[in-house]
């Protein structure tokens, strides 16, 4: 689920799921308290404090962090009364439900209608082919009561709609609150060598080539503004002259270094003017100099790339890179990384940047509020997308209701069996038009349908200007007129309308091509994921949790069928299922036929997945049915104060904060869990298996109104 700041939400993970055929138990108290709701509930809290609180209590996006202080401001204290009200509501509703929670769940259970909040593996998610996926929903600007928002979200998807219908474990589910504090969800990247990234060192490598620290203070703010305008070609001047006050050779040298270091692409020279010394900055190599830092300014003995660990809160990786590049005055494309991390969490990952010194990077720690940079080193290579082994998660579920025995059963099952490797709900969008429908229309070569699905009016939560844009399009079919309704034209709708204005309504293919390639492929990957989820549910329903003849396994990267004589040599953890494409094979049992039938129902030929347009031809891929997390650890802890952290982050440790002292007995219980997952795996699905709940935003928002009463 992706929500804009106006839609940041509190979240409580609800009680056990029942079978689909049973009525929803009122015991399910899944909370989704939006910003406008909290405004009504706690009017005495200033907006700025409220906004910070919301950033700390946002819906979970598993993989994996707007500007929030790393100093842990006291906004969480200021809203303690909100937390207490929330707990009272949970307690009151739970007390009404009687024995419903005692109902058992079969080993493979049909998907119930109860929610857990949807996880995003990242605001941008690495898909099976290493592409990036950006599936963000821009939500309505309009103020409104929670019921109206819930009404809008009635048009969204539930897990059943995208094929998520099974569990593999037999334990009873229980409730808990995830991200009561956003510091309750921490992600550490695991590199290709198996090393888990941690921020534990702020020191800068000693290098005689580094300029003095004075380069950061020798230029006035006015000088910096003029130099930045010159660097970015924002004025007509061809140079900027800086008068040298208190002229000495040392002072001039520092100014030279400051300009060249802080404003890549500029060169400097010293000039005498009317008896005064000036440092004159100018462009030496035109606009290309900004994207290609000067080779001659970098010591030959030093690796060209500075690698560092980025610790961030409430900022996704791409936003973080954009902020760093803005402060460093360089292009974002000189940064590299192994994977993108989610916004709504504390995340720790490795970044590499071309020819920027550790000294300059470390200086940013003094001015950036929601980042910390450390563990600097120089190397001769950048980082490559997808080179990571995965991510290690530390998650706290607060105010759990499960007994110790329930918790032990759930966590033992997660460790020993694992969870179904479904694609999470965010893969399919959160509005009334699922992304997989657009992908299906692309594969069908039905471009009018593609255009219509993206641009037509739709019910649900959207920004007001998007609603007006869609209405204009429906009324006039004039792309230029509809485009004028959009103040932000970088969204998919704006890009498509710009393409239609340029190429005309009879050349939708070219118009659609204006949308960035990764965004276009996102739709097709969503359709593949939709097929895969449905087929895996059928596979588990038909054959259970054992390998059978006709299943697929990977041998040296090649998929082969299991023969009857070899069945005993494999387990469910070896089985893979294909994402449909022209370069995959399918199971040799009923599920192979089910693939063909499902694609045929969508007017697609399973034996011809090549598209007229090469970009949209699907080669396919293989994905394991069951994922068994590694390094699974857990403990149940007691606490009284919901404001206190239950573990220390890397930054807490660096700042010398004492380890939290936990009560032996307390009003509340929390489950602290740790586990490692491979890339392209949704941690939401792991927590879904533990708590036994639906992850769709539709169910969350419907149940939110229960809590608000």
The closest of 553, 550, 524, 532 to 437, measured between CA atoms, is 524
Burial class of 608 by CB neighbour count within 10 A (0 to 12, 13 to 18, 19+): exposed
Whether 178 contacts 395, CB under 8 Å: yes
Q: Mapping DSSP to helix (H, G, I), strand (E, B) and coil, where does residue 635 land?
A: strand
C-alpha distances in Å from residue 9, one per residue of 2, 48, 597, 645, 700: 11, 16, 40, 19, 11
Q: Mapping DSSP to helix (H, G, I), strand (E, B) and coil, where does residue 59 land?
A: coil
Q: Mapping DSSP to helix (H, G, I), strand (E, B) and coil, where does residue 559 land?
A: strand
How many Å from the N-terminal Cα to the C-terminal Cα in the chain? 24
The DSSP output letter for 176 is B
Whether 388 contacts 679, CB under 8 Å: yes
Burial class of 638 by CB neighbour count within 10 A (0 to 12, 13 to 18, 19+): middle
Q: Which residues contact 389 (CB under 8 A, 6 or more apart)?
A: 190, 191, 192, 194, 678, 679
Structure tokens at 650: 């890397």
Whether 383 contacts 338, CB under 8 Å: yes
Active site (annotated) includes residue 640 = no
Structure tokens at 33: 């308290």
Whether 226 contacts 232, CB under 8 Å: no
Cα–Cα dist 678/262, whole Å: 38
Length of the chain: 709
The closest of 354, 296, 273 to 321, measured between CA atoms, is 354
Residue owning tokens 């893979």: 576
DSSP β-bridge partners for residue 396:
672
The DSSP output letter for 425 is G
C-alpha distances in Å from residue 78, one per residue of 70, 319, 559: 17, 28, 56
Out of 342, 551, 650, 694, which one is annotated catalytic? 342
C-alpha distances in Å from residue 90, one per residue of 173, 185, 294, 644: 16, 22, 60, 20
Cα–Cα dist 279/241, whole Å: 6
Whether 696 contacts 178, CB under 8 Å: no
C-alpha distances in Å from residue 535, one per residue of 72, 163, 540, 541, 588: 45, 8, 9, 10, 13
Q: Mapping DSSP to helix (H, G, I), strand (E, B) and coil, where does residue 190 land?
A: strand
Structure tokens at 120: 């995003």
Cα 389 → chain centroid: 17
Q: Mapping DSSP to helix (H, G, I), strand (E, B) and coil, where does residue 449 land?
A: helix
Q: Mapping DSSP to helix (H, G, I), strand (E, B) and coil, where does residue 436 land?
A: helix
The closest of 708, 693, 631 to 177, measured between CA atoms, is 693
Torsional class of 50: left (φ above 0), alpha (ψ -120 to 50), beta (otherwise) = alpha
Cα 63 → chain centroid: 6
Torsion angle (degrees, nearest 10) of CA 202, 206, 207, 211: 60
Residues forming the active site? 342
């Amino acid at each position: 689920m992706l929500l804009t700041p106006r839609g940041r939400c509190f979240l409580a993970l609800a009680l056990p799921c029942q079978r689909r055929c049973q009525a929803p138990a009122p015991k399910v108290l899944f909370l989704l308290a939006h910003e406008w709701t909290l405004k009504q509930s706690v009017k005495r809290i200033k907006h700025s404090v409220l906004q910070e609180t919301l950033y700390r209590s946002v819906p979970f996006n598993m993989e994996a962090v707007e500007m929030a202080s790393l100093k842990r401001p006291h906004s969480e204290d200021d809203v303690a009364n909100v937390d207490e009200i929330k707990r009272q509501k949970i307690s009151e509703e739970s007390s009404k439900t009687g024995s419903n929670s005692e109902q058992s769940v079969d080993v493979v259970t049909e998907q119930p209608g109860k929610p857990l909040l949807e996880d995003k593996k990242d605001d941008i998610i690495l898909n099976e082919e290493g592409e990036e996926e950006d599936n963000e929903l821009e939500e309505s600007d309009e103020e409104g009561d929670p019921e109206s928002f819930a009404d809008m979200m009635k048009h969204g998807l539930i897990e059943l709609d995208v094929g998520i219908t099974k569990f593999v474990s037999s334990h009873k589910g229980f409730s808990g609150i995830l991200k009561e504090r956003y510091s309750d969800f921490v992600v550490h990247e695991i590199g290709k060598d198996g090393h888990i990234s941690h921020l534990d060192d702020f020191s800068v490598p000693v290098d005689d080539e580094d300029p003095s620290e004075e380069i950061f203070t020798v230029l006035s703010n006015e000088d910096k503004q003029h130099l930045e305008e010159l660097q970015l070609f924002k004025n007509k001047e061809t140079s900027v002259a800086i008068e040298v006050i208190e002229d000495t050779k040392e002072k001039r040298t520092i100014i030279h270094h400051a300009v060249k270091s802080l404003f890549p692409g500029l060169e400097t020279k010293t000039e005498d003017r009317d008896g005064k010394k000036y440092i004159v900055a100018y462009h030496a190599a035109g606009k290309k100099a900004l994207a290609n830092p000067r080779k001659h300014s970098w010591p030959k003995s030093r690796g060209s790339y500075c690698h560092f660990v980025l610790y961030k809160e409430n900022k996704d990786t791409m936003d973080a890179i954009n902020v760093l590049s803005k402060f460093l005055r360089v292009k974002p494309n000189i940064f590299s990384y192994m994977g993108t991390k989610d916004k709504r969490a504390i995340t720790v990952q490795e970044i590499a940047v071309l020819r920027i010194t550790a000294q300059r990077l470390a200086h940013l720690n003094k001015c950036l509020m929601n980042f910390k940079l450390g563990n600097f080193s120089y190397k001769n290579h950048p980082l490559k997308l997808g080179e990571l082994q995965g991510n290690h998660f530390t998650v706290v579920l607060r105010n759990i209701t499960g007994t110790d025995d329930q918790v032990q059963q759930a966590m033992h099952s997660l460790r020993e069996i694992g969870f179904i490797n479904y694609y999470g709900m965010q893969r399919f969008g959160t509005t009334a038009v699922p992304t997989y429908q657009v992908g299906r229309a692309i594969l069908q070569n039905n471009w009018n349908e593609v255009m219509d699905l993206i641009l037509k009016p739709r019910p649900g939560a959207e920004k007001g200007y998007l609603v007006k844009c869609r209405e204009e399009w429906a009324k006039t079919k004039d792309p230029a007129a509809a485009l004028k309704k959009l103040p932000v034209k970088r969204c998919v709708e704006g890009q498509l309308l710009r393409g239609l204005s340029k190429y005309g309504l009879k050349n939708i293919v070219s118009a659609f091509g204006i949308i960035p390639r990764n965004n276009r492929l996102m739709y097709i990957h969503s359709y593949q994921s939709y097929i895969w989820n449905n087929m895996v549910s059928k596979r588990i329903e038909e054959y259970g949790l054992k390998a059978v003849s006709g299943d697929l396994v990977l041998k040296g990267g090649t998929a082969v069928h299991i023969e009857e004589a070899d069945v005993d040599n494999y387990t469910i953890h070896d089985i893979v299922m294909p994402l449909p494409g022209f370069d995959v094979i399918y199971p040799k049992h009923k599920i192979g036929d089910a693939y063909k039938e499902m694609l045929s129902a969508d007017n697609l030929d399973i034996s011809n997945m090549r598209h007229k347009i090469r970009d949209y031809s699907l080669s396919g891929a293989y994905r394991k049915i069951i994922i068994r997390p590694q390094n699974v650890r857990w403990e149940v802890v007691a606490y009284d104060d919901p404001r206190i952290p239950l573990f220390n982050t890397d930054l807490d440790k660096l700042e010398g904060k004492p380890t939290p002292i936990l009560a032996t007995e307390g009003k509340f219980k929390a489950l602290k869990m740790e586990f490692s997952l491979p890339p392209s795996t949704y941690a939401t699905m792991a927590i879904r298996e533990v708590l036994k709940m639906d992850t769709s935003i539709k169910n969350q928002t419907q149940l939110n109104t229960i809590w608000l009463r």
